Amino acid sequence: MDAMAITSIFVLSVFVGFEVVSKVSSTLHTPLMSGANAIHGVILVGAIIVADHSENNLELGLSLAAIVLATINMVGGFVVTDRMLEMFKPKKDASAAAKKEDEAAKGGQK
Amino acid sequence: MSSTWYSLIGLASGVAFILALKGLSHPKTARRGNLIGAAGATVATLSVFLYVTPGKDGAEAHSLPIHNLGWILGAIALGLIVGVPAARKVEMTQMPQLVALFNGVGGGAAALVAIVEYLNLGDTATTAEVIFTVFTVVVGCVSFSGSIITFMKLQELMTTRPVVFPGGRFVIAGTLVAVLGVSVWVVVALGTTPLLVLALLSLLFGILFVLPVGGADVPIVISLLNAFTGLTVAASGYVLSSTLLIIAGTLVGASGTILTRLMAEAMGRSLFGTLFGAFTAKPQAATGAAEERPVRSGSPDDVAILLNYARRVVIVPGFGLAVAQAQHTVRELADLMISKGIDVAYGIHPVAGRMPGHMNVLLAEANVPYDQLAEMDEVNPTFGQTDVAIVIGANDVVNPAAQTTPGCPIYGMPILEVSNAGNIIFLKRSMRPGFAGIENELLYDPKTMLLFGDAKASLTKVVSALKAL
C-alpha cells in the first residue's frame, strides 16, 4: 500500500473515531470503553498472519502466544461488554407484569 | 478467495466497528452495537483463514491452507477456554479490573506480533517499517505492564494509594529517555538484542507510569491505555499491510482518547493532574489526629425512625453497595418509603463505584425505575430540601475535602453535596477511608449518624424496622 493511501485512511479514521463518541452520557462510559477494548482484539488477525509467516520455532512460539492473548482480549471483551449491557435491558419484571395484565384484560373481555 | 474480496471483507469489518462504537454511545442501541462489533471481528478473523497476505519480499503470497494451521487453531481454542469463562463468571464488582486485564493482554499481543514481524523481516525491513515496529513494541509493552498494575490496584493486590518514591519523577524521566534512546538504537542498528532491551525497558516504564496514580483515577488510566493499545494495533496494520487493522486500531485510539477526556471531565480532573498529580501534591497534613474523634453511631431502629418522619430522602450509593450486592435490598427500602408517601430519589455520582456508570448498571439490575435516578447536577440543588441523605458504601464522592482542602488527591472533583441535607446517614463497614485514602470530615458532623456493618445486612434490618413502625 502506498504511504498516501495509508495516511488518508489513518486521518479519516481518527476523525470518525472522534465523531462517533463525542456525545456519550457518563452512564455508558464503562461499556463503551470495554467495547472499544474488545475491538482492538482484532490484532488476532495480525497474530494469525505472523503465525503463518513464522519461519522458526521462536517466531511460531511468540506468535502463538500473541494469538492466545488476542483471542482472550477479543472474545472476553465482547462477552463482558454484553454482560454489562444486559443490565440495561428494559425491566423484565415490569414488562412481564404488563404482559400479564394485558392478557388478564383480554381474558376478561372474553 | 482473491485479494479484492479479502480487502472488501476487511472494509466491511471496519464499517461494523464504526457502527459498533456509534451504537455503544446510546443506551438503546448499546447492546446491538456490541453485537455488531463482535460480528465484524468474527468475520475479519475467519477471512484470514481464506486468504493470506503476501509474506517476505511480497513474493510469498500462497494459497490455502495457511501454515501452522493446527497450532493456530489450538492457540485460538486456548484463548477461548481462558477468556470466555473469565468474562462470564466475573462478579459485577470485578468487571473493571477484568477490562484492564483484557486491555493489557491485547497490548501484549500487539507487541508480540510486532516482534515476530521484526524477526521475520530481518534485514529486508524498510526504515518506516522498523519505526512502526518500534512504536508498537514500546506502546504495546507499556500498555501491557501498565494494565497489569491497574489490575492489581483494583483487585487490591497492592495499595490503591499513589506510590511515590524519592526521586520518582527522575527515575521515570530517566526510563523514558532510555526508551527513546534504545528506540533510536534499534532503528539505526537492526538487531534482536536492542529490541529485547527495548521491550524490557518499555515494560518497566509502564509500571513506573501507573504506580503514582491514585486509586480513584485508575479508570481514567485504563481508558488511556486502551487508546494506546488501539494505536499499536493501527501501527501493526501498517507493518502487515492490513487496512482493517489500521482502521480498527485508529478508531479505538481516537475514540479512546476522547473517552478518556470525557471521563476526566466527569471527575473534574485534568488528564495531566491524574497522571502526574502525585508528584506535585503536597503531603497531606493532620490526617493522623482525626482517629480519636467521636462519631455518632446509631441502630437500624434509629435510622428507621428518622426515615419514617422524613418527607424527602436521597439515597447515595457507592462501591460498598456493589460489594455487598445490596441493590435489591436498597430498592426494597426505597419502595417501602415510597409506599409511606416519602419522596425518594437516588443521587448518582458519575464516578461512584470503581468505574463511571457503575451505579447505573447496578441499580438497573435491581429494576430501579429510571426516573428515580438523579444525576449529580440535578440532585445537588435539592439537598437543601432533603430531610435525610443515606450514603451507602460511598465516601470519596461525598467528601467535602474535594471542595475545601486544596492539595488533597480529590481536590476539584465535583461531589454530591449531602452536607446540605437535614440529616446524613452513613452505612459503612468501618471507619476506613475511601478508595482515594482520604479522611472524610463529614463522618464527624453532628448531623451525621453512622450505621456500621455490611450494607446488605444493615439495609435488611432497616427495612424490617421501618415495616414495624
- A97 contacts chain B (CB < 8 A): no
Asked if the Cβ–Cβ distance from B109 to A18 is below 8 Å, we say no
Task: Let me know: does B297 contact B430? Beta carbons within 8 Å.
Answer: no
Asked if the Cβ–Cβ distance from B110 to A58 is below 8 Å, we say no
User: What local confidence, expressed as pLDDT, does residue B58 receive?
Assistant: 46
Domain edge (last residue) among B249, B280, B311: B280
Which 3 state secondary structure label does DSSP give B145?
Answer: helix
Q: What are phi and psi of B438, to 5 degrees?
A: -120, 140
Q: Which domain holds residue B238?
A: 94-280
User: Of the candidates B71, B108, B256, which has its C-beta nearest A64's C-beta?
Assistant: B71
- Any bridge partners for residue B423, and if so which? B388
Average pLDDT over every residue of B277-284? 53
Q: What are phi and psi of B161, to 5 degrees?
A: -80, 160
Q: Looking at beta carbons, which residues of chain B come within 8 Å of A92?
A: 367
What are the pLDDT digits (tens) for B34-85? 999 999 999 999 988 887 655 544 444 555 567 888 899 999 999 999 999 9
Non-local (6+) Cβ contacts of A77 within 8 A are A34, A35, A37, A38, A39, A41, B87, B99, B102, B106
* Three-point CA angle B235, B355, B373, nearest 5°: 135
- Any bridge partners for residue B450, and if so which? B297, B426
Give me the residue label for grid cell 462517533: A20
Q: Looking at beta carbons, which residues of chain A come within 8 Å of B105?
A: 69-70, 72-73
Alpha-carbon distance B235 to B135, whole Å?
7
Angle, to 10 degrees, between the axis of helix B218-239 and the axis of helix A29-39? 20
Q: Does the pLDDT value for residue B285 go beyond 50?
A: no
What are the pLDDT digits (tens) for B384-409? 899 999 999 888 888 888 888 877 77
Asked if the Cβ–Cβ distance from B41 to A41 is below 8 Å, we say yes
Position B419, amino acid: S
- A98 contacts chain B (CB < 8 A): no
User: Of the candidates B24, B74, B367, which has its C-beta nearest A28's C-beta?
Assistant: B24
Judge if B177 and B321 occupy the same domain: no
Angle, to 10 degrees, between the axis of helix B243-266 and the axis of helix B218-239? 160
Q: Looking at beta carbons, which residues of chain A come within 8 Å of B255?
A: 17-18, 20-21, 32, 36
Provide the 8-state DSSP code for B282: P
Judge if B266 and B318 occupy the same domain: no
User: What local confidence, expressed as pLDDT, does residue B277 receive?
Assistant: 64
B10 in a domain, yes or no? Answer: no
User: Of the candidates A36, A73, A91, which has its C-beta nearest B109's C-beta?
Assistant: A73
What are the pLDDT digits (tens) for B190-232? 788 889 999 999 999 999 989 888 767 788 899 999 999 999 9
Average pLDDT over every residue of A22-42? 87
Distance to chain B for A96, nearest Cα, Å? 12
Grid coordinates representing B100 are 484492564
B58 in a domain, yes or no? Answer: no
Domain edge (last residue) among B210, B245, B280: B280
B35 in a domain, yes or no? Answer: no
Average pLDDT over every residue of A14-43? 88
Alpha-carbon distance A75 to B38, whole Å?
8
Grid coordinates representing B297 are 453511631
Could you list the active site residues of B?
Answer: 396
Q: Looking at beta carbons, which residues of chain B come within 8 Å of A52?
A: 52, 55, 66-68, 72
Q: Does the pLDDT value for residue B255 go beyond 70?
A: yes
User: What local confidence, expressed as pLDDT, does residue A99 receive?
Assistant: 45
Alpha-carbon distance B382 to B389, whole Å?
11
Grid coordinates representing B414 are 465535583
Q: Looking at beta carbons, which residues of chain B come within 8 Å of A25?
A: 27
Could you give the number of structural domains in chain B? 2
Judge if B274 and B350 occupy the same domain: no
**Residue-wise over A27-58: b if at least 16 C-beta within 10 A, else e?**
bbbbbbbbbbbbbbbbbbbbbbbbbbbbeeee
B231 in a domain, yes or no? Answer: yes
Q: Which of B7, B84, B112 is the best substitution to test chain A (most A C-beta atoms within 10 A)?
A: B112
Judge if B269 and B418 occupy the same domain: no
Grid coordinates representing A8 are 488518508
Judge if B330 and B457 occupy the same domain: yes
User: Closest Cα partner for B236 from B347, B111, B396, B354?
Assistant: B111
B420 in a domain, yes or no? Answer: yes
Comparison of pLDDT for A77 and B163, the residue scoring more: A77
Judge if B233 and B325 occupy the same domain: no
Judge if B276 and B318 occupy the same domain: no
As a whole-number percent, the residues of chain B with pLDDT over 70 amount to 90
Sheet strands (E) in B376-422: 388-392
Grid coordinates representing B444 are 464527624
Asked if the Cβ–Cβ distance from B37 to A21 is below 8 Å, we say no
Grid coordinates representing B147 are 494494565
B115 in a domain, yes or no? Answer: yes
B415 in a domain, yes or no? Answer: yes
Average pLDDT over every residue of B330-340? 92
Least confident range from A101-110, B62-71, B304-313, B337-346: namely: A101-110
User: What local confidence, expressed as pLDDT, does residue B1 receive?
Assistant: 58
Nearest C-alpha in B relative to A73: B102
Comparison of pLDDT for B80 and B320, the residue scoring more: B80
Q: Which of A39-48, B94-103, B180-189, B287-296 has the highest mean pLDDT?
A: A39-48
Residue B336 confidence class, pLDDT cut points 50, 70, 90: very high
Alpha-carbon distance B4 to B291, whole Å?
70
**Count of C-beta atoms within a 10 Å radius of residue A22:** 12
Q: Does the pLDDT value for residue B278 go beyond 80?
A: no
Judge if B166 and B224 occupy the same domain: yes
Grid coordinates representing A33 are 470503553
**Count of C-beta atoms within a 10 Å radius of residue B135:** 19
User: Closest Cα partner for A50 from A65, A39, A71?
Assistant: A65
User: Closest Cα partner for A37 from A79, A86, A68, A7?
Assistant: A79
Non-local (6+) Cβ contacts of B459 within 8 A are B326, B329, B330, B332, B333, B392, B427
CATH number of the domain to which B380 belongs: 3.40.50.1220
Helix, strand, coil distribution of chain B in percent, nearest 5: 65, 5, 25
Q: Does the pLDDT value for residue A39 go beyond 90?
A: yes
Which 3 state secondary structure label does DSSP give B230?
Answer: helix
Sheet strands (E) in B148-190: none
Helix or strand (DSSP H, E) at B204: helix B192-210
What are the pLDDT digits (tens) for B91-148? 877 888 899 999 999 999 999 999 998 888 877 778 888 899 999 999 999 999 999 9
**Count of C-beta atoms within a 10 Å radius of residue A16:** 20
Q: Does the pLDDT value for residue B185 go beyond 80?
A: yes
Asked if the Cβ–Cβ distance from A73 to B106 is below 8 Å, we say yes
Domain ranges of chain A: 30-109
Q: Looking at beta carbons, which residues of chain B come within 8 Å of A77?
A: 87, 99, 102, 106
User: Of the candidates A36, A38, A42, which has its C-beta nearest B244's C-beta?
Assistant: A42
Least confident range from B129-133, B276-280, B375-379: namely: B276-280
User: Of the candidates B24, B79, B229, which has its C-beta nearest A68's C-beta?
Assistant: B79
* CA quadruple B229, B233, B238, B239: dihedral sign: positive
- A88 contacts chain B (CB < 8 A): yes
Q: Looking at beta carbons, which residues of chain B come within 8 Å of A3?
A: 128
B23 in a domain, yes or no? Answer: no
Domain edge (last residue) among B280, B312, B343: B280
Judge if B422 and B384 occupy the same domain: yes
Question: In whole angstroms, what separates CA A4 from the centre of its chain?
Answer: 29
- A91 contacts chain B (CB < 8 A): yes
Judge if B180 and B306 occupy the same domain: no
Judge if B230 and B311 occupy the same domain: no
Average pLDDT over every residue of B326-338? 91
Judge if B393 and B461 occupy the same domain: yes
